[in-house]
Structure 1
Amino acid sequence: MARRPLWWLGILGIIGGALFQFVALLTGPLALVQPVMMVELPITLLLASLLLQRPITRGSLIGTLSVTIGVIALVVAVSPSGGHSYVAPLRWMLALVATAGGVAVLVMLGRATRGGASAAALGASAAMMFALTAALMKSATGELSGGGAVAFLTTWQLYATIIAGVVAVFLLQNAYQAGSLVAAQPAITVGDALVSLVLGVLLFEEDLRLGGWLALAIVGLALIIGGAVELSRSPLVAGVVTGEESHATSEVGSDGQDEAPS
């Protein structure tokens, strides 16, 4: 992949997205920023349509609307608010151990299975790492207001963010290689948001509105999952992720199936 310019452009895109995410986490709760980022998949579809000069199918449009409405419903339902940037060391220790344990279990499950189950498990592990990356990033940004640039550059969370981000991207690449996009993407899309909601509450003591609003949140999640599955079936999105539309050279795996670099 390192010999493919498009892959490096993708990495630059991830870095650019991380900078915008940095600013968002500086001004808003983790439980709000990460769910909003689920609109990545519909935006991928629109960009693919422009770049590949292919029309968007009716099913893809329905999937786009489903994800968008689902995100709005979820954010309105839980209405994240409050919170703070400081996290006690004990809370960080518990979060890091729990996340590492969850990722390890999912990776082992991904290696023990094949096809859709493997892609879903590895996608979920990537989602957990992306959520942890966002939590670390938010904690690091909090040092800017408290101690300035020096405190920000010397905090351990900043460098842990970089390490966690690299691991998350690595797991993401493996999820796309393991099976179909339909199996991997919903786990990635929804898992990141759900784990971020949990980390926002447990680490930063952010407030979520539950009660009767929980029903709307469940409807929103159902719309997001359904829309993610529909968009994952789109040849436009699949072509961008697997590289099929760019005529990437397929590699034959040990099981005899074609695998295209993502």
Structure 2
Amino acid sequence: MTWAIAIALTGAFCLALGSALQERDAIRAPGASVARLGFLLHLARRPRWLLGSLAAATGVCLHLVALSAAPLTIVQPLGVTGLLFAIVLSALFNRQRIRLGQLLAGAAVMVGLVGLLTLFPHSADPPVLPVPVALALTGGVAAVGTAGYLVAHWIPAGPRAVLLAVFGGAALGTTSALTRVVAVGAATDLTAVFSWLTLLAVAIAVFGGLLQQNAYRTGHFAAAYATLLVVDPVVGAGIGVLVLGEAVPTTPLAQLLAAGAVLLAVAGTTVLARAENRNPEVARHFPTPSVTDLVHTTPGDPR
């Protein structure tokens, strides 16, 4: 199990490295402060962003390898250590001082999320998700996420980072739930990969990626990454409970501790969102608009 723990930690580092590499290109990409779908096509042509994507994909693969040799209750919490890696790497890449307050807030998010992941029981029963239910689920997440994307044009950068990361995390959490169903089915029948669930997983993953990169684009990388780390597994667990019939903490003590863990993670994320050391490149690419600009600019305007 020792090697599985080492692999899980390496995977967490790779995920954090990939996201930190993607941040700068997300900020530098042309377009409005909340970019459209073509923004992803632009990023896909940037070598550093592609390198970040490769690092993130490596992290996911290492996470899956670790899961094959160690329990979910051990591997999932280890993945949360990526938040501290991400805070440090982003500061180093942007030549900023690493602030103690950010590290403490990141640690609070980690402790809260580890507690939440540990308290939720993990079912071994094969999940079943009918296609009509999957369509309703992904459609609902996409509709709510689109509304959040539109609202994001009108709010300040800090809250915008958290808002976009919340909906991006919800989309990626939905992707995780769909992928789990497909993966379990493919373990016994490889043709299960060629299904509507796979197509829905890819579509909602692309949508989540758009929101995720726009969250990084705000310059509040630590807040965005922390929010994604919290929302993704919470939404995945919620889908498991509400749709796939998985279990929840049953004792009053476990429920109280789970609620406390959520509050701790939210508090840490709030501190990160309010941090003043925003990526300095944002000010050069997205100057603070005047009152006249705000009146005459509409959502999606490239100015």
| Equivalent residue for 1:160, pick from 190, 200, 209 | 200
Q: Which segments of 5 or more consecutive residues in structure 2 lack a partner in the other structure?
A: 1-24, 26-42, 294-303
Larger relative contact order (CA 8 Å, sep ≥ 6): 1
Query: Residues 120 and 46 of structure 1: is their aligned pair in 2 closer, same or farther, counting only changes over 3 Å?
Result: closer
Query: Residues 105 and 51 of structure 1: is their aligned pair in 2 closer, same or farther, counting only changes over 3 Å?
Result: closer
3-state secondary structure, aligned to 1:204: coil
Which residue matches 1:228?
269
Paired AA for residue 182 in structure 2 = A
| Equivalent residue for 1:188, pick from 210, 228, 233 | 228
Which residue matches 1:7?
49
| Equivalent residue for 1:218, pick from 259, 266, 277 | 259
Q: CA deviation at 1:199?
A: 0.9
Q: Which segments of 5 or more consecutive residues in structure 1 lack a partner in the other structure?
A: 258-262
Contact 1:114 1:178 in 2 (8 A): no
1:100 aligns with 2:142: yes
Query: Residues 72 and 252 of structure 1: is their aligned pair in 2 closer, same or farther, counting only changes over 3 Å?
Result: closer
| Equivalent residue for 2:157, pick from 110, 115, 139 | 115
1:255 aligns with 2:289: yes
Same amino acid, percent of matched pairs: 22
Query: Residues 157 and 102 of structure 1: is their aligned pair in 2 closer, same or farther, counting only changes over 3 Å?
Result: same
Q: CA deviation at 1:171?
A: 1.0
| 1:170-221, Cα deviation, whole Å (9 max, x unpaired) | 1111123246446644543332232112111133221111441111012212
| 1:206-241, Cα deviation, whole Å (9 max, x unpaired) | 111144111101221222223334456385xx5xxx
Query: Residues 96 and 129 of structure 1: is their aligned pair in 2 closer, same or farther, counting only changes over 3 Å?
Result: same
Q: Distance in 1 between matches of 2:129 and 2:56?
A: 26
Q: What's the TM-score, normalizing by structure 2?
A: 0.65
Query: Residues 187 and 229 of structure 1: is their aligned pair in 2 closer, same or farther, counting only changes over 3 Å?
Result: same
| 1:120-162, Cα deviation, whole Å (9 max, x unpaired) | 32222111111111112112211222213xx144223333333
Which residue matches 1:260?
none
Q: What's the TM-score, normalizing by structure 1?
A: 0.74
Choose 160-169 or 175-184, whichever is displaced more.
Answer: 175-184
Choose 124-133 or 41-50, whichever is displaced more.
Answer: 41-50
Q: CA deviation at 1:87?
A: 1.4
| Equivalent residue for 2:213, pick from 159, 173, 177 | 173
Q: CA deviation at 1:78?
A: 2.4
Query: Residues 83 and 189 of structure 1: is their aligned pair in 2 closer, same or farther, counting only changes over 3 Å?
Result: same
Query: Residues 36 and 157 of structure 1: is their aligned pair in 2 closer, same or farther, counting only changes over 3 Å?
Result: farther
Which residue matches 2:112?
70
Paired AA for residue 173 in structure 1 = Q
Number of aligned pairs? 247
Which residue matches 1:200?
240
Q: Distance in 2 between matches of 1:53 and 1:117?
A: 24
Q: Distance in 2 between matches of 1:255 and 1:90?
A: 45
Choose 80-89 or 99-108, whichever is displaced more.
Answer: 80-89
Q: Distance in 2 between matches of 1:111 and 1:54?
A: 27
